[in-house]
């Protein structure tokens, strides 16, 4: 299966600053990647679909201006949390789809804490 590397694994930032999270598909070209978010004691929720060479598709209720997604190449998607606030503190994780509708490969996740 695909190997997905996500960086950083943990980040602490001050309110009002921006944080960039990288998701790399190390051995598989991915035209699509997915970004999920998990609040404490809650489920993983899909935030957006990252599309190589075109705009990301955001799920309902996700602010596209706050969560900027760039999928500049077939192996890299980035999620930038702009003007972060404490309520953005969460676990963010990316995934790369596999073959057909039966597989997905995940990065290690990023624990973001905004203070």
Partner 1 sequence: GDSVTQMEGPVTLSEEAFLTINCTYTATGYPSLFWYVQYPGEGLQLLLKATKADDKGSNKGFEATYRKETTSFHLEKGSVQVSDSAVYFCALMLRAQKLVFGQGTRLTINP
> Tokens 């996500």 correspond to what residue?
6
Stretch that binds partner 1, among 11-19, 41-49, 62-70, 81-89 (CB under 8 A): 41-49
Q: Which one-letter DSSP state was computed for residue 68?
A: E
Residue 59 to residue 61: CA distance in whole angstroms: 6
Site for partner 1 in 76-115 (CB under 8 A): 93, 95, 97, 101-109
Cis-peptide into 87, omega within 30 deg: no
| Structure tokens that stand for 63 in this block | 């602010």
Residue 62 interacting with partner 1 (CB under 8 A): no
Q: Of these, 15, 31, 42, 83, which contacts partner 1 (CB under 8 A)? A: 42
Residues in contact with partner 1 by CB under 8 A are 1, 4, 6, 9, 32, 34, 36, 38, 41-46, 49, 93, 95, 97, 101-109
């Amino acid at each position: 299966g695909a190997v997905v590397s996500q960086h950083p694994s943990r980040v602490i930032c001050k309110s009002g600053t921006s944080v960039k999270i990288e998701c790399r598909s190390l051995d598989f070209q991915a035209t699509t990647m997915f970004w999920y978010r998990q609040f404490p004691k809650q489920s993983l929720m899909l935030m957006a679909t990252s599309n190589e060479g075109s705009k990301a598709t955001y799920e309902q209720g996700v602010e596209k201006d706050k969560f900027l997604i760039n999928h500049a190449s077939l192996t890299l998607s980035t999620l930038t949390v702009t003007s972060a606030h404490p309520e953005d503190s969460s676990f963010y994780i990316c995934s790369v789809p596999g073959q057909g509708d039966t597989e997905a490969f995940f990065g290690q996740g990023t624990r973001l804490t905004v203070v």
